[in-house]
Amino acid sequence: MQTQNLGYPRIGSRRELKKASEAYWAGKIPVAELEKTGREIRLKNWKSQQESGIDLIPCNDFSFYDQVLDMSVLLGAIPERYAGFARTHSGTDLYFAMARGYQKGDFDLTAMEMTKWFDTNYHYIVPEFKAGQTFELNPAKLLSELQEAREAGIQAKPVIIGPVTYLLLGKEKETGFHRVELLSRLLPVYEQLLKLLAEQGVQYVQIDEPALALDLTPAEQEAIARTYTFFAEAVPSLKIILANYFECYGDNLQTAIHLPVDTLHLDLVRCPLQLEDILATDFVQKKTRLSLGVVDGRNIWKNDFEASLQLIEQAKAALGAERLLIAPSCSLLHSPCDLDFEKKLNPEIKNWMAFARQKTDEVAFLRKWASGERSEALKAVWEANRQAIESKKTSPLIHDPAVKDRVEQVTEKDTRRNSPFAARRKQQQEVLALPLFPTTTIGSFPQTPEVRSWRARLKKGELTQEEYDRLIEQETADAIHWQEEIDMDVLVHGEFERNDMVEYFGEKLQGFVFTENGWVQSYGSRCVKPPVIFGDISRPEPMTLRWTKYAQSLTPKWVKGMLTGPVTILQWSFVRNDQPRRDTCMQIALAIRDEVTDLEKAGIRIIQIDEPAIREGLPLRKENRRTYLDWAVRAFRVSASGVEDATQIHTHMCYSEFNDIIQSISDMDADVITIECSRSQMELLDAFHKFAYPNEIGPGVYDIHSPRVPSEEEMVGLMEKARKVIPDEQLWVNPDCGLKTRHWEETRLALEKMVSAAKKLRTV
């Protein structure tokens, strides 16, 4: 039985890579220093995995920005617009120009697109293909990392993305062809690479084909079969470990088990039942090995050794130990680095957790234990694990019977407003008395360095809570008065008191903890530190009431209450694994519901519940989507339905495709939805139009990602487009998203123009 790892976090346990890359981009350090940081991180990662006892340690899992971008460079798929730049700049600068764009001197190069990696919060750089696309091997990075590992005494296993997944992840930039047709051009380049690796004496190569976690067409399945048959014939000496993760093989199982590869990897965390499926096929008679991904690469919980061992024993009984590898479920890229850096966590909760460093230890332990090794030290590890798992099952820190009861008692009525939209709307119109094309914003106003410095000083004890509150009050009051001045219709308090839309609520809710260093890469140098939901969730006291009430007290105009929705809070946290996600989501929903009704009691008549993450929670396989959408919509409805008909509930979503979930969006039954729309020039509205979306809708009229101030005509133009497909009475006027990352100067100008654009619309 061997152990392997599929990939290790590359940001460094102190986010060294982030700091070095940003310093390099700012021209503060030379490239040599950036490279040195990369080498140090790789070396540390390799050594740590070696010490844990991992046999097959990955290399080329390191990346200065993104592993898919690395593949585009490796395969020579560099979009044409960078050709001039490539002639005059280093490979490193070209690489970063592709990732981030480049505007300086003679160059004005846009970045390649970025999108989410399967159902994770990691973003990859989307490969671009044209009809006559050619490929050319450029193996320098991979070979040098391989060599580097050897010098460190490690016979590393190179990791690459498989050709079918690579093509599917990309996008055609011309019409008239489908990217999978490029496979025959791509395979010779892969062949060249694999031969090169074989010549170098490489024994194992890991090829990731997570496209196998998706619903593939027969042609795509055939492409997979053709690819691996070709590799086996072209480079018979190389042992291919084929990795699929984030889902089971599903309908691709027959394709997968017949591939002539050395090893097939299974994500047994997401999909433990697939082991039984595989063992029921003629896979058993073959020689292919099975890599059992039993340690969760996507979450921060300790492995349950007993449960993992059951799976391992089951596989062992059918295949024998020699045909097994023990592994994490997927690359540990999605885990934080090292739990040992957490000094402030409650020790009981910390004892339930494992980060990447600890997970490789778990993998190694499981192999030993499953192989029958039993030293005193191993027995102690086993016993400690058993106790940790047991304490997590029973700890009063986690289990709050009142919360569980309340979830059980949620009725159909709790998921419904008193009256249907049409009736609510009449009442709302009476109470709110808003003009046609009402103007509003999405919630946050600029978080200036000053505002952020107050929070930092409060944390350090340099400001008292009172002093801090006064400052936030002043900032809020300024924002309210300014909105009144420019004649905005529905005001917001500005969210100055919030660091982050999820963290703010997590900090106020029971059942959450925060790590000091639990960073994971989101994209490039950007890292996120998701809150950890460890236990039953409740709301000890109101979370936003104070600030909303204060803002409302300053103005006779309506101030919109601003909350983050249950699905988004769930989606952007590390979630407990001892109960279904839907139950955790419902607990959050009930806490938000209480906040909503408290706001209403305090006289707030417009309340927005943001759900920007609802779309990204969508399961990879179509067959699982219905169930997810049902519970996600139900949770939202529970959070929103405690109010009177006359109280108007808004929701907000951004940066998603709506076509395939429009029914569910409609089922959420928010009175008003605001969406990001300007980048697509209102194309996203088509889904709402085709569906004849009945409730009110605010299509974003300007992109908040750019400091550019749009003109009044531009915004009127976009709204005119919207009016063609949505009746006037249903339309609101607002920006695409929150303005947190903008400066005040451009925000002021843009919103003044937005208000005058709305006024213009009212006259014609």
**What residue ranges bind ligand GLN (CB under 6 A)?**
442-444, 495, 501, 562, 610, 612, 652, 654, 737-738, 740
β partners of residue 328: 295
Query: Is 311 or 501 the residue whose CB approaches ligand GLN more closely?
Result: 501
297 binds, among Zn ion, ligand GLN, none (CB under 5 to 8 A by kind): none
**Residue 699 binds to Zn ion (criterion: CB under 5 A):** no
10 binds, among ligand GLN, Zn ion, none (CB under 5 to 8 A by kind): none
Amino acid found at 117: W
**Residue 739 binds to Zn ion (criterion: CB under 5 A):** no
Burial category of 570 from C-beta neighbours within 10 Å (exposed 0-12, middle 13-18, buried 19 and up): buried
**Residue 569 binds to Zn ion (criterion: CB under 5 A):** no
Closest distance to ligand GLN from the beta carbon of 651 (Å) = 10
Among the residue ranges 181-189, 353-361, 403-411, 647-655, the one whose residues contact Zn ion (CB under 5 A): 647-655
Closest CA to 712 of 761, 642, 653: 761
Among the residue ranges 136-144, 538-546, 582-590, 737-745, the one whose residues contact Zn ion (CB under 5 A): 737-745
Query: Is 187 or 653 the residue whose CB approaches Zn ion more closely?
Result: 653
Query: Is 389 or 654 the residue whose CB approaches Zn ion more closely?
Result: 654
Q: How far apart are CA 532 and CA 298, in angstroms?
A: 13
Closest distance to ligand GLN from the beta carbon of 698 (Å) = 13
Q: How far apart are CA 7 and CA 59, in angstroms?
A: 8
Closest distance to ligand GLN from the beta carbon of 612 (Å) = 4
For residue 499, what are the CA distances in angstroms to 476, 507, 611? 15, 10, 18
Distance of CA 170 to the CA centre of its chain: 19
**Residue 488 binds to Zn ion (criterion: CB under 5 A):** no
Please name the helix (run of DSSP H) or strand (run of DSSP E) that holds residue 308, with its range, or none: helix 305-319
Q: How many CB atoms lie within 10 A of CB 686?
A: 14
7 binds, among Zn ion, ligand GLN, none (CB under 5 to 8 A by kind): none
Query: Is 339 or 551 the residue whose CB approaches ligand GLN more closely?
Result: 551
CB contact burial 49-58 (16+ within 10 A = b; e otherwise)? bbebebbbbb
Closest distance to ligand GLN from the beta carbon of 568 (Å) = 8
**Residue 97 binds to Zn ion (criterion: CB under 5 A):** no
293 binds, among ligand GLN, Zn ion, none (CB under 5 to 8 A by kind): none
DSSP characters over 218-279? HHHHHHHHHHHHHHHHH-TTSEEEEE--SS--GGGHHHHHTS--SEEEEETTT-TTHHHHHH
Closest distance to Zn ion from the beta carbon of 421 (Å) = 23
Among the residue ranges 10-18, 313-321, 595-603, 733-741, the one whose residues contact Zn ion (CB under 5 A): 733-741
Q: Out of 170, 612, 698, 735, which residue is the one contacting Zn ion (CB under 5 A)?
A: 612
Query: Is 312 or 567 the residue whose CB approaches ligand GLN more closely?
Result: 567
302 binds, among ligand GLN, Zn ion, none (CB under 5 to 8 A by kind): none
Does the CA dihedral 659-661-664-668 come out positive or negative? negative
Closest distance to ligand GLN from the beta carbon of 738 (Å) = 2
Amino acid found at 325: L
Query: Is 473 or 746 the residue whose CB approaches Zn ion more closely?
Result: 746
Q: Using CA atoms in the order 680, 681, 685, 690, what is the torsion angle rounded to 10 degrees?
A: -100
Closest CA to 700 of 726, 674, 680: 674
Residue whose pair of structure tokens reads 């009746």 in the numeric block: 727
Query: Is 322 or 450 the residue whose CB approaches ligand GLN more closely?
Result: 450
Residues 6+ apart with CB under 8 A from 347: none
> Whole-angstrom distance between the N-terminal and C-terminal Cα of the chain?
75
Q: How many residues does the chain have?
A: 764
Closest distance to ligand GLN from the beta carbon of 587 (Å) = 22
Burial category of 477 from C-beta neighbours within 10 Å (exposed 0-12, middle 13-18, buried 19 and up): middle
399 is catalytic: no
**Residue 502 binds to Zn ion (criterion: CB under 5 A):** no
Query: Is 329 or 440 the residue whose CB approaches ligand GLN more closely?
Result: 440
The 3-state DSSP class for residue 388 equals helix
Alpha helices in 488-576 (DSSP H): 503-508, 545-553, 566-571
Query: Is 339 or 750 the residue whose CB approaches ligand GLN more closely?
Result: 750
Among the residue ranges 189-197, 267-275, 362-370, 731-739, the one whose residues contact Zn ion (CB under 5 A): 731-739
State which of positions 126-185 bind Zn ion (CB under 5 A).
none
Query: Token digits for 529?
Result: 């530190």
Q: How far apart are CA 617 and CA 600, in angstroms?
A: 29
Closest distance to ligand GLN from the beta carbon of 668 (Å) = 15
- φ, ψ at 36 (rounded to 5°): -65, -45
Query: Is 39 or 705 the residue whose CB approaches ligand GLN more closely?
Result: 705
Closest distance to ligand GLN from the beta carbon of 610 (Å) = 5
Residue 671 · residue 696 · CB < 8 Å: yes
DSSP state of 740: T
Among the residue ranges 223-231, 284-292, 373-381, 612-620, the one whose residues contact Zn ion (CB under 5 A): 612-620
Q: How far apart are CA 451 and CA 278, in angstroms?
A: 56
Query: Is 524 or 738 the residue whose CB approaches ligand GLN more closely?
Result: 738
Q: Out of 156, 205, 737, 751, which residue is the one contacting Zn ion (CB under 5 A)?
A: 737
Closest distance to ligand GLN from the beta carbon of 548 (Å) = 13
Q: How far apart are CA 727 and CA 425, in angstroms?
A: 15
Site size for Zn ion, by CB under 5 A? Answer: 3
335 binds, among ligand GLN, Zn ion, none (CB under 5 to 8 A by kind): none
Q: How many CB atoms lie within 10 A of CB 603?
A: 11
Residue nearest to ligand GLN (CB): 738
Closest distance to ligand GLN from the beta carbon of 244 (Å) = 31
241 binds, among ligand GLN, Zn ion, none (CB under 5 to 8 A by kind): none
Q: How far apart are CA 506 and CA 502, in angstroms?
A: 6
Q: How far apart are CA 587 and CA 566, in angstroms?
A: 8
Q: How many CB atoms lie within 10 A of CB 468?
A: 17
Closest distance to ligand GLN from the beta carbon of 736 (Å) = 9
The 3-state DSSP class for residue 450 equals helix
Give the 3-state DSSP-derived string for 598-614, with helices as H, strands as E and coil as C: HHHHCCCCEEEEECCCC
**Residue 654 binds to Zn ion (criterion: CB under 5 A):** yes
**Residue 443 binds to Zn ion (criterion: CB under 5 A):** no
121 binds, among ligand GLN, Zn ion, none (CB under 5 to 8 A by kind): none
Distance of CA 695 to the CA centre of its chain: 29
Query: Is 275 or 569 the residue whose CB approaches Zn ion more closely?
Result: 569
Q: Which of 89, 258, 399, 705 is catalytic?
A: 705
| Residues engaged in binding Zn ion (CB under 5 A) | 612, 654, 737
Residues annotated as part of the active site: 705
